[in-house]
Amino acid sequence: MSRQATGERARGLFLTFEGPEGAGKSTQLAALVRHLHGAGYTVTETREPGGTLLGTQVRRVVLDPEVEMEPLPEFLLYSASRAQLVAEVIRPALARGEVVVCDRYADSTLAYQGYGRGLGLDFLTRVTAEATGGLRPDLTALLDLDPALGLARAARRGQPDRLERADLAFHTRVREGFLTLAAAEPGRFLVLDATRPVAELSADIWEATQRRLAAPLVPGAR
């Protein structure tokens, strides 16, 4: 059944997963999608960058270790991919009453290009708001992990991409950025210790998601 078919809302629910490299976002996202399907919800699963033809091409460029890129064009490429994803995938799915689950979204831009690369947060926020039409997640699961451990996990997956090759100081700033963002919006973020057992993390995320699914629609939202 779609989110709309439950009769609880006129539009769907938007959930995102964030965290540093190697935090286990993909594993937890897949577990949540299984829970949602098992409960009868219609789910649109996507990722950033990606999810569209344009986004897939952007992903190849921004993660290519052979490509040298300044922080500003990096941010603008991510923004172009995000704008297309929101217009082509996310908003239509929400309008159909579906649950949208996205691997990374705008918080990654603030953490990576803002806190990590040093671009101005006000500038990033303004451009992101234009790119997304102000669309924000209902719930963000932040899987927190020491960046040294995360990079070691990522290295075991194979050849590191362009972001994974950045130094530890950069990834430390990214983690601090995520935690700062979460502290500023405790009602939206679910902060989880990514070293905990996978099953425990999945249970916590599902419990938080169920609470959001049962919450009434805020008038005028989106």
Residues of each annotated binding site for ATP = 19-26
What stretch of H or E contains 205?
helix 198-214
Does a cis peptide bond (omega within 30 degrees of 0) precede residue 92?
no
Q: Residue 113 and residue 162: Cα distance in Å, rounded? A: 13
Q: Pick out the residues of the known binding site.
A: 19-26
DSSP 93-136: HHHTTPEEEEES-HHHHIIIIIIIT---HHHHHHHHHHHHTT--
> In Å, what is the CA distance from 9 to each residue of 5, 88, 90?
9, 21, 16
Q: Residue 60 and residue 217: Cα distance in Å, rounded? A: 37
Q: Which two tokens stand for residue 121?
A: 């947060």
Question: Which SS3 state, helix, strand or coil, does residue 143 take?
Answer: strand
